[in-house]
Each structure stands twice: as structure tokens, then as C-alpha cells.
Structure 1
Amino acid sequence: MHDFCFTIPYGLLLVGGGVFGYIKKGSTTSLAGGVASGLLLIIAGYLSLNAFGKRKNSYLALLLETVCAAVLTWVMGQRYLETSKIMPAGLVAGISALMTLFYLYKLANGGNHLPTKAE
């Protein structure tokens, strides 16, 4: 699987979660955090998708995705430990931890697998 296949939906999930948190609880922190991190991931996924279309890897996008997911894992993991609430802290921490592992795997294996050129 390519990183952008998961990154763009992951970013959309974060944006949606931030907007939902704002609508439900009036939390501007949730709105700002969810939208900012989600948009950053969507942009990184888009950069990776464009590079893949040019038959290249975007290590900048992959590094940005990894750092963003790792920071979300840390921040939301700390919030989960403080509140013991599965929603949203535990869920976001868990998904972000899985995404961090996926991105580290992609980095260790040289990025996206580029198909051989068809003649």
C-alpha cells in the first residue's frame, strides 16, 4: 500500500473530528487541532500522490506524515492517560500510533513501491 492511500483519509478523519468536537462541545481547541493536523496530513498525502504520479518518492511528505502522526500519538496518548476517555483521545492516539508504525515501515523500506515502466 502507498502512504497516500491512508494519509488522505486519516487527515479527513481528523478534520471531521475537529469540526464535530467544535459543533458538539464548542471546543475551539478541538477545531484548531483537528483541522490544522488534518489539513497538514492531507497536504502531505497530496504531495506524496503527486510524486508517485511522477514515478518518484516524496520523502519530505513521508517524513511530515510520520512526525505529525507521532506528535498526535504523544499528545492524545497523554490526554487519554489524564482523562481515561476513549473518545476522542484514546481513539485518535490508537489510530495515530498505527499510522506512525506504518510510516516508519514505509521509511525503512524506501518509500512507496514504484511500478516498473510499461513499454
Structure 2
Amino acid sequence: MFSFWKKEKKTNKSESPKSSSSSTSLSWDQSAVKALAQAVSQAPVPSMMKQRVKQELSNAAEEAARKAGKTTVTAQHLMAGILSRLPENMRKKVEEAAKQGPKGLKKLQEELK
């Protein structure tokens, strides 16, 4: 009768990106975990959207790792996952800036402000 007031039991999801909804679980390299945290903290979204961004980036990184046939997600897989989610024109800009090194990335960062 008062089921509206009862709390639903939710599965406890870990803060770590290691918990995946896919059938094959992947482990995360420590550098990838740190890179994910940094990417989420720098994401230009409201704080209430940070968890969603984290999940999307985790899924993209795990997808990249699976495509590469790996069982451990690395920072390289995270970057590949992020790039795969960008629009084509933006991806090209990021790739060109990365080829130029830190100066190119700094220039791109200033350009995007």
C-alpha cells in the first residue's frame, strides 16, 4: 500500500570504472584511472553530469581496448575512446595538435577558449 515511500534497493556501483555492464570485465591500468579522473574533472559540463561523462568515457575506453584485443584498459585506450566520440572536424584538430606536441596542444586549448 505504501510502496511509494519504500526505498528501492539499487545495486551498489563502484566509483571505479572497473565495474562494467558488459559480459567481459576489463581491468584498468592505474594511469588510465588517473587520466579518466582528470578528463572528467576538466569536462565542461555541470557537476551533476560528471558521473554520466565518466560512464561514457569508461565505455568508450573499454570499447577501444576490446577492439585492440586487450584485457587491460590503458590511457592510450582512453584517448582512443575519447577521439572516437568526437566529431570528425574536431578529431582532426586534436590529432594535428597532438602531432605538434605540447605547444600544439596549448595552442589548441587557447583556440577553443
TM-score by length of 1: 0.29
Between 1 and 2, higher relative CO (CA 8 Å, sep ≥ 6) is seen in 1
Normalized per residue, the structure richer in helix is 1
Larger radius of gyration: 2
